[in-house]
Amino acid sequence: MAHWTDQIVGARMAVDEAFASEVATAGISRQEWGLIMTSVEFEIERPEEPGEATLVADAALESIGPALEGLAAERSPLEGGEQSDDGGVVATIRSALGLADEEGGGLDEGQLEAARELTQAYARRLQRRLESQDRWATICGRAAE
């Protein structure tokens, strides 16, 4: 039997498209967001009780620090590659991982927390979509198996 996460691929694609404006507002490029999402594992807390169950995103941002740095280096000025003094999301994550250089700012804990909160907001939106499609109870049942 397929893992429950395989059952939500279509819903994730729809949420990805709808969530693009939140990502842009956060100052994260599509490529950076895609990479951030590769570090996310979804879990359902209390799947035995669909009415109380919660979809959560466990983002292991420390696993993608070097790749995020590479993306930032590849960004052109037309794609928003010019960095502000705060360094943006990539620098924030680098700093939080201890990868920032001595002189360059980097992500502070607040920015890292903002990136994690964005993944949680995504999870909430995804759960609402599954609920609105009357699929949440089925997904929870599969997760509880």
Query: Does position 124 have pLDDT exceeding 80, yes or no?
Result: yes
Arithmetic mean of pLDDT, 95-119: 59
- What are the structural domain ranges in the chain? 4-144
| Tens digit of each residue's pLDDT (9 = 90 or more) over 51-100 | 999 999 998 887 777 776 677 666 645 455 444 445 566 665 655 555 55
Torsion, Cα 42 107 25 72, to 10 degrees, reads -90
Six-digit token string for 88: 């943006």
Distance of CA 72 to the CA centre of its chain: 17
Q: Is 104 left (phi over 0), alpha (psi -120 to 50) or beta?
A: beta
What does the pLDDT read at residue 102? Answer: 42
Q: What percentage of the chain reaches a pLDDT higher than 70?
A: 67
